Structure 1
Amino acid sequence: MATILLIDDDIEVLSINKKYLSGEGYTVYATDSPQKGIAYAKKLKPDCILLDIMMPQLNGYEVCHQIRQFCSSPILFLTGKGSEDDKIEGLTIGADDYIVKPYSLRELKARIDIHIRRAAHVNTPQNDNTLVFHDLTIDKLAHKAFYQGEDLMLANREYEVLLYLASHPNTDVTFEDLGIALFGFYQESDRRSVMVNVSRLRKKFEGNPTLEHMIETVWSKGYRFIVN
């Protein structure tokens, strides 16, 4: 069964989540220390990480940033900070999902399962393992993208955005299409999250003339991956 790492300075929240998720069959490790959480993530390479934001010494954004230096496991923020700016910062820093407290434990489990399945699917070998567009190469097995042979160093979400768009070249991809591909579900409030993830990918394309114009915005609808 999957391994889950919980990092939260609220002992009661840790206890409730650990008890519930353990009862659902997960192997659960929990800590109220951000520093220990980073060490556990490095040692355990868990299948999913649940991370609080408001913690002493190191906040969740900094913990997420540090974990992303060595671990690509899905990271879900569980937090009372529910403003749009908070969510955007969390997604931009490298999180895969953002869940505002209080939340349903059943929904939490559903989201964990979605992200674990997606991560497993991404790492599963496929028959057609490479997409090539001029100087851009997408290696599905390695979960990486290369421009003129140089690794673009994409985060998980950036890679998933690119792979989905590149798999539908010269086609209008709606916000809903991309949202479902990224999160497994979509509601209109998810549009901003989709836009943030596309923006993060575009920043990785900056300075590469061939790439900068490959993703076009389709006004009020979504995006188009341009291949000439």
Structure 2
Amino acid sequence: MGIKLLIVEDETKIASLMESYLQAEGYDVLTAMDGKTALQLYAQHKPDIVILDWMLPQLNGLDTCRQLRQSGSPGIIMVTAKSEEADKIVGLEMGADDYLTKPFSLRELSARIRSLLRRMNHTGNDEADTVLRRGDLTIDESSLQVFIGGQELHLTPTEFKLLHLLASKPGRVYSRMQLLRHAFEEEFIVDERTVDSHISKLRKKMEKDGRAADYIQTVYGFGYRFGAEHEN
């Protein structure tokens, strides 16, 4: 399969069960018992997806998630006993792509991994090698890379899918539900406000140089659109 996973879980029994099950599914699996070790393993092996527990020794899951996002763009599935909506939103705002609440079945975990892999690799059409250029923004769909003013932006798979959809049709307004369905598919049901969190994070990454403040525009009471003035 060639897909590499990193499990970050401090409960030995749970980590062992996940490792054995996912190895049997054909994945290459690494395991860390704390956040600091997870960051070291990520730097050394660059796994495709990190399955990250919230409660960890030395460095908690949220801080680990944030540092992973600064280091690269793996898919991140946050695993936690915290089931409150506010906790889920915090995890997603820190950069998680999916959220799984304990207790969960290993089959569900496997389904979430497959869903995230589709989101990371799915192009949505047959033009996988096309490049979108919108002003000084370049979106390379084949390599999943985004550049603004020649500088690469490190986006999560969810952020990439949202940006690509909006930029593909400048001026068209997408509702939060439309964006939600496009970015998360049917296997991950989240509140519409989750879209706002991802759009906010995406804007911050795009607006670091102060030139991209109007790329993604809010249509109040409905959703978002990509500024038509940036269409080439």
TM range (shorter): 0.7 to 0.9
Query: How much has 1:209 moved relative to structure 2?
Result: 6.3
- Structure 2 counterpart of 1:111: 112
- Structure 2 counterpart of 1:213: 214
Query: How far apart are the structure 2 equivalents of 1:115 and 1:102?
Result: 20
Deviations along 1:91-124, one digit per CA (max 9) or x if unpaired, are 12221111111123222111100112232346xx
**Paired residues for 1:31-46 under 5 Å:** 31-46=32-47
Is the contact between residue 73 and residue 119 of structure 1 (CA under 8 Å) also seen in structure 2? Answer: no
Query: How much has 1:197 moved relative to structure 2?
Result: 0.3
1:33 and 1:188, CA in 2 relative to 1: closer, same or farther beyond 3 A? Answer: closer
- Structure 2 counterpart of 1:204: 205
Gaps of 5+ in 2: none
Query: How far apart are the structure 1 equivalents of 2:19 and 2:106?
Result: 11
1:26 and 1:134, CA in 2 relative to 1: closer, same or farther beyond 3 A? Answer: closer
TM-score (norm: length of structure 2): 0.84
**Paired residues for 1:1-228 under 5 Å:** 1=1, 2-121=3-122, 126=127, 128-185=129-186, 189-206=190-207, 211-228=212-229
TM-score (norm: length of structure 1): 0.85
The alignment yields a C-alpha RMSD, in angstroms, of 2.5
* Matched-pair identity in %: 39
Query: How far apart are the structure 2 equivalents of 1:217 and 1:186?
Result: 27
Deviations along 1:45-68, one digit per CA (max 9) or x if unpaired, are 222110101111110112122222
Gaps of 5+ in 1: none
Query: How much has 1:207 moved relative to structure 2?
Result: 6.4
1:101 and 1:165, CA in 2 relative to 1: closer, same or farther beyond 3 A? Answer: same
Give the partner amino acid of 1:145: V
Query: How far apart are the structure 2 equivalents of 1:161 and 1:26?
Result: 27
Query: How much has 1:7 moved relative to structure 2?
Result: 0.6
**Count of aligned residue pairs for this structure pair:** 226
Query: How far apart are the structure 2 equivalents of 1:45 and 1:96?
Result: 17
**More moved, 207-216 vs 39-48:** 207-216
